[in-house]
Structure 1
């Protein structure tokens, strides 16, 4: 099972660290793997650079994007599910205040559908897969060209 954590990075941090995303990955990875010793400092850093997910906005974006798909359903406690036909794949998305959790099985299509929908919420969403050590923006951030 593939597992992702998705964070909403504050605009100023997203733009400043654009191109140096490994710094975000390292911070989140240390939080994920560390025991209690350094965790409080790391957690404070994560709290500082991340924003809370507005649950109502999240629900409305997902419902607007995915309603009408036979494969989409919403369970209690804001658990969103996409199940592809013929058991090709399945993905579950759940929300905490500062982190979304996405778990997926089978084809990558189900998680890609979630990622595409979440892009509509904000451009500064950063996904991390600790098991495979993959990370990146759901939508690449555009750097403004100040000199023309």
Structure 2
């Protein structure tokens, strides 16, 4: 198993509910931002800015420290770089936090990134992860569709 890479976006709540069940549209948009030419890219990036919200790096830091602070194998290099290393070199994950996006790289057991996913979903319900290599995507915490008609 090679390296797995994820980008995690915070989708604005109204968009999260509006696109519920059509998450492929988000994936398409984020994917296109990685491959299109310059002019299209700026349009796509504006769309992404419109549907996403910025992370507060200090809020991310405190959520991670609260969830993982005492756990062995968890360390933080700086306010924006975090590591989880599983015992017996079973796997590891590194999280880099930026305002627009969180970048997660993992190798070995899937448990490594799962630890980060569980910690991050306590931060917000509208976090959307994309793995461009595997064409995989989804909410960190499944969003409950609100019942509009009772």
Offset from partner CA, 1:26-75 (integer Å, 9 cap, x none): 00000011131310100000011000001111000000000111110000
| Structure 1 residue runs without a partner (length 5+) | none
Q: CA deviation at 1:144?
A: 1.3
Moved more, 28-37 or 6-15: 28-37
1:90-105 equivalences under 5 Å are 90-105=92-107
2: distance between equivalents of 1:34 and 1:89?
33
Q: CA deviation at 1:77?
A: 4.5
2: distance between equivalents of 1:106 and 1:18?
31
> Which residue number corresponds to residue 13 of structure 2?
11
> Which residue number corresponds to residue 40 of structure 1?
42
Corresponding residue to 1:69 among 54, 65, 71:
71
- 4+ aligned runs moved over 2 Å, structure 1: none
> Which residue number corresponds to residue 51 of structure 2?
49
RMSD: 0.8
| Structure 2 residue runs without a partner (length 5+) | none
> Which residue number corresponds to residue 79 of structure 1?
81
> Which residue number corresponds to residue 91 of structure 2?
89
TM-score (norm 1): 0.98
Contact conserved, 2:57 with 2:79, CA < 8 A, in 1?
no
> Which residue number corresponds to residue 140 of structure 2?
138
Give SS of 2:5's match.
strand
Matched residue count: 148
1:112-131 equivalences under 5 Å are 112-131=114-133
Q: Does 1:30 find its partner at 2:32? A: yes
Moved more, 118-127 or 29-38: 29-38
TM-score (norm 2): 0.96
Moved more, 88-97 or 32-41: 32-41
